[in-house]
Amino acid sequence: MTENAPNLIGQSVARIEDPELLTGKGTFAADFNRAGQIHMRVLRSPVAFGRLGGIDTAEARALPGVIAVWTAEDIADLPQIDFRMTKVQGLGPYRQWCLARDYVRYVGDPIAVVFAETAFLAEDACDLIFPEIGELDPQLDPLDDPSPYMPETMPGVLSEPAVLRKGSGDVEAVFAHAAEVVELELSVGRHSGIPLETRGALGVYDRDSDTITMYGAAKVPHYNRGAIADMLRLPVERVHLSEGHVGGGFGPRGELYPEDVLVCYACRRLGRPVKWIEDRREHFLSTNHSRDQHYRLKAAIDERGVIQALDAEFFTDQGAYVRTHGATVSDLAAALLPGPYLIPAYRVAGHIRLTNKTPCGTYRAPGRYESSFARERLIDAIAARKGLDPFEIRARNLIPEDRIPFDRGIDALGTHVVYDSGKYHDLLARLRAALDWDALSARVAARRAEGERIGLGIGYFVEKSGLGPDDKVRLHFYPDGLICIVTGVANIGQGVETAMAQICGGTLGLPMAGISILHGQTRLIDEGRGAFATRVTVMTGSAVKLASEALLDQALDLAAGRFGLPREELRYRAGRIWHEGGASVTLCELAAEYGGEDGLVAEGIFRSDHMTYPYGIHFAQVKLDPGTGGVQIERYMVAFDVGRAINPMLVEGQITGAVAQGIGGALYEEFVYDAAGQPLVTSFADYLMPTAMEIPPIETLIREDAPSPLNPLGVKGAGEGGITAAGAAIASAVEDAIGRPGVVDRLPLTPERVAGWLRG
């Protein structure tokens, strides 16, 4: 019935987002301004843990140009910030207030907020606020026994909000008869996404309609809209969120934080537009940290090194409060710790622990970067014990193709974990061939013989993507041929407009020019799930395909009626419907004839109850400096099956960017605290983000061997796999270079640690 022009899907086309961004015409959070706006500044706790007494704001209030100064008392009607995603019970008491009540729990905890005519004045006024804080001993080690959360006001509430337990198979029985048991203790340091744009928001209140609009939204505008409306006790239609350009997402950006709520609340109460832009120090103190997990693994293995059972316990240091992600990081870590391996019996206990540090949330591949590091360290330890090479030990443990779809028998994010498609052995063999592993190993051996400290390592991972439950888009086709797709998705820099335009254009056999994507505007569409959990291409992309097909369906009906011919005799190609007998009409003509002001309108709704599971392998070759302990990455490769690549250039871009972040977390980036809970990392001079000098060229082996059966495009998300096993592969390579199996037990691999391991 339909024939299309060469398909845009699968082409490495340049992005439609770029011209504005290249010419300085982007609109990031700080670029929004309104006449009459005032500026908000947050006073933050200077101590890690303390009983909050009186707060003297008199001097600040008296400063000319200061409009208001609020503490918790002034916003007593605002509730705690709720969870966006979690099904775990019992976390409620640990939610953060917009301004601290009774206690401060981390350096950076908001104590008071100032509104003033200029940003400078607001900052000056913060210096004139004097809180009384009775300092207490902070809890800083999540492995210590849980301590009272707020001892006087919440007696009996301890700093372990929950322990997640999952499992399948009879672990006890396997251990009772195990040939050998391997035990490891591992940890991953605290670091985070650190987008280059800090957070920011502009709240604008329209008195006539009693409506609040927040500009500078990101990631999940529709969810946040509802949450803000609930907190302000307003009907949801009185709150709108509007997304401009977003300077990087990566997990932290776009979650609902105290400042977003305060901006919305204040613009209505004060009757002036309120602008807040986070500074970089504040970002380090107040935007979600992540990772920071400690693992204890115990594996029962057979004579061949095949894991028969895995008994795992881990601790997630989630900082001062439980923020919007709830138990997400621990949930995903627990669910995906077994990764690509069969592991017939599995049991895990994931402890969520709170400490007096910045609260944590998700960061690209949350729970998987950490658990992949832990699992792959375990696999390497088994390989060392059995004298097997890194490919052989993995081949022996991988899930065979005939067992896929593979039901792990556990849940993640409320969905059943079923690996939907995968050729795990095949990808391993392809990587081995691409590296010419035996020759490479021989070259490395020769260099070692010359005295160089060279190492090779790999890390296998299974990712998850495409979290449902649904996604909706609305497609408008106008008489001039322009197509507008309205979606509740968000663009955090990943190229969603281009990918969606490709799917639409590819489905309709039309060029990308003329297709525009409107996203992140709650005014334009009543629902949307946003951009997280590598869900956009899978969920929104599928909805775009369905909407495009619905448009075609509608057009064929219209044409059939117009021609008075049976619909099944009509043909379609590149915007034109015709009949062999000569009748012909274009989509533009149909839109002019039958479409109203909105053109021809079609909707696409895609639903999915299961996530889809991409998988891949990281490879690293490193060289150590025995003098300094410095790690140089000589070569890096990622083999990654994404099911189907809508735009291979963008997929490669996602992988390369994610690898760079993974290298950062493996070697350089770490939030460190002193014994009093004071953060020692509050600037880019302390937080060592990789530069162009640290990142080597990243080789990619992008495969489409196992398309997902769960969506009409066959796609799996490509946004996170570039980071997932980076820590694992680099640790493996560094340990190989050190030559002492089992020593590398923590990330990041700082020069100090590496030098220590080298010394023995």
Smallest gap from Cβ 747 to other proteins, in A, equals 19
Q: Does 6 bind other proteins (CB under 8 A)?
A: no
Amino acid at 288: N
Stretch that binds other proteins, among 21-29, 222-230, 598-606, 607-615 (CB under 8 A): 21-29
Binder among 19, 405, 561, 742 for other proteins (CB under 8 A): 19
Q: Does 36 bind other proteins (CB under 8 A)?
A: no
Q: Which is nearer to other proteins, 8 or 164 (CB)?
A: 8
Q: Does 193 bind other proteins (CB under 8 A)?
A: yes
Binder among 4, 5, 11, 26 for other proteins (CB under 8 A): 26
Q: Does 376 bind other proteins (CB under 8 A)?
A: no
Q: Which is nearer to other proteins, 42 or 246 (CB)?
A: 246
Cα–Cα distance, 256 to 246 (Å, whole number): 15
Sorted by sequence, the CB contacts under 8 Å of residue 595 that are 6+ apart come out as 477, 478, 479, 601
Binder among 23, 73, 439, 568 for other proteins (CB under 8 A): 23
Q: Which is nearer to other proteins, 44 or 166 (CB)?
A: 44
**Residue 194 contacts residue 687 (beta carbons within 8 Å):** yes
Q: Does 630 bind other proteins (CB under 8 A)?
A: no
Q: Does 691 bind other proteins (CB under 8 A)?
A: yes
Q: Does 754 bind other proteins (CB under 8 A)?
A: no
Q: Which is nearer to other proteins, 72 or 728 (CB)?
A: 728
Q: Does 748 bind other proteins (CB under 8 A)?
A: no
Annotate 643-697 with DSSP letters as a single string: SS-S-HHHHHHHHHHHHHHHHIIIII----B-TTS-BS--STTTS----TTTPPP
DSSP category for residue 238: G
Smallest gap from Cβ 496 to other proteins, in A, equals 11
**Residue 495 contacts residue 650 (beta carbons within 8 Å):** yes
Q: Are strands 162-168 and 345-353 parallel, antiparallel or unpaired?
A: antiparallel
36 burial (CB, 10 Å; 0-12 / 13-18 / 19+) is exposed
Helix, coil or strand: residue 227: helix
* Residues facing residue 599 across a β-bridge: 596
Q: For the chain, how long is the longest CA-to-CA vector?
A: 88
Q: Which is nearer to other proteins, 117 or 527 (CB)?
A: 117
Here the tokens at position 752 are 């100090």
Q: Which is nearer to other proteins, 22 or 675 (CB)?
A: 22
Cα–Cα distance, 56 to 98 (Å, whole number): 19
**Residue 353 contacts residue 315 (beta carbons within 8 Å):** yes
Binder among 9, 28, 710, 724 for other proteins (CB under 8 A): 28
Q: Does 11 bind other proteins (CB under 8 A)?
A: no
**Residue 67 contacts residue 272 (beta carbons within 8 Å):** yes
DSSP category for residue 85: S
Residues 224-253 that bind other proteins (CB under 8 A): 245-250
Binder among 5, 234, 404, 695 for other proteins (CB under 8 A): 695
Binder among 50, 131, 167, 195 for other proteins (CB under 8 A): 195
Binder among 387, 564, 697, 760 for other proteins (CB under 8 A): 697
User: Which of 624, 633, 639 lies closest to 704 in space, CA to CA?
Assistant: 639
Annotate 477-529 with DSSP letters as a single string: E-TTS-EEEEES---SSS-HHHHHHHHHHHHHT--STTEEEEESBTTT-S---
Q: Does 632 bind other proteins (CB under 8 A)?
A: no
Smallest gap from Cβ 34 to other proteins, in A, equals 13
DSSP category for residue 94: G
Residues 114-173 that bind other proteins (CB under 8 A): 120
**Residue 354 contacts residue 322 (beta carbons within 8 Å):** yes
Sign of CA dihedral 246, 251, 254, 257: negative
Cα–Cα distance, 502 to 672 (Å, whole number): 44
Q: Does 198 bind other proteins (CB under 8 A)?
A: yes
Binder among 536, 631, 698, 725 for other proteins (CB under 8 A): 698
Q: Does 449 bind other proteins (CB under 8 A)?
A: no
Stretch that binds other proteins, among 181-189, 228-236, 493-501, 503-511 (CB under 8 A): 493-501
Q: Which is nearer to other proteins, 495 or 506 (CB)?
A: 495
Number of residues that bind other proteins (CB under 8 A): 55
Residues 270-329 that bind other proteins (CB under 8 A): 279-280
Stretch that binds other proteins, among 76-84, 193-201, 259-267, 390-398 (CB under 8 A): 193-201
Q: Which is nearer to other proteins, 27 or 415 (CB)?
A: 27
Cα–Cα distance, 658 to 363 (Å, whole number): 11
Binder among 1, 7, 25, 170 for other proteins (CB under 8 A): 25
Q: Does 494 bind other proteins (CB under 8 A)?
A: yes
Give the footprint of other proteins on this chain (CB under 8 A). Answer: 14-15, 17-28, 30-31, 120, 193-198, 245-250, 279-280, 492-495, 649-650, 652-653, 656-661, 683-685, 689, 691-693, 695, 697-698
